[in-house]
């Protein structure tokens, strides 16, 4: 993609599309994981929806800035997005709540795929939907 064709509006729209897809898929996954025995914390559907949409909107703004101001901005965005995805997996694997309570049953089964879904849509979806 050439930097001159990307506008801020296109990037934010792409982040919104990717975020809404991630929210929908993550809420569907939440229901499937619950059917497999995972127990979500209270208020989980709202948290999943917000946590799926907001980071992808921020990622879309980052994508816009990197593509706009760096010659290899799209490649740089992909590297940064992959790094963020990998870092986001840490809390799903080594869960520690601030109040030192144990995680809910099946927490990793519930949340790890959600991070992969949202991260994957950030890596693939934002550049694709911003064209």
Over the chain (131 residues), the average pLDDT of each successive run of 10 is 75 98 97 93 91 97 97 97 95 72 83 96 97 90
Predicted confidence at residue 2, as pLDDT, reads: 44
Domain count, the chain: 1
Question: How confident is the model at residue 1, as a pLDDT?
Answer: 41
* Domain contains 1: no
Q: Is residue 3 part of a domain?
A: no
pTM equals 0.89
Amino acid 102: pLDDT: 73
The DSSP annotation for the chain comes to: --GGG--HHHHHHHHHHHHHHHHHHHHHHHHHHHHTT--PPTTHHHHHHHHHHHHHHHHHHHHHHHHHHSTTHHHHHHHHHHHHHHHHHHHHHS---TT-PPPPTTHHHHHHHHHHHHHHIIIIIHHHHT-
Q: Which residues form the domain of 68?
A: 8-130
Q: Is residue 15 part of a domain?
A: yes
Residue 91: the pLDDT is 84
* pLDDT value for 105: 84
């Amino acid at each position: 993609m050439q930097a001159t064709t990307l506008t801020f509006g296109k990037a934010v729209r792409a982040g919104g599309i990717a975020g809404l897809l991630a929210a929908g898929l993550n809420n569907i996954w939440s229901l499937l994981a619950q059917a497999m025995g995972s127990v979500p914390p209270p208020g989980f559907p709202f948290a999943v929806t917000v946590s799926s949409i907001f980071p992808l909107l921020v990622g879309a703004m980052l994508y816009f800035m990197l593509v706009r101001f760096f010659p290899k901005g799209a490649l740089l965005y992909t590297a940064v997005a992959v790094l963020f995805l990998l870092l986001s997996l840490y809390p799903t694997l080594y869960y520690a709540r601030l109040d030192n309570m144990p995680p809910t049953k099946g927490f990793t089964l519930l949340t790890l795929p959600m991070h992969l879904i949202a991260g994957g849509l950030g890596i693939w979806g934002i550049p694709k939907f911003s064209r």
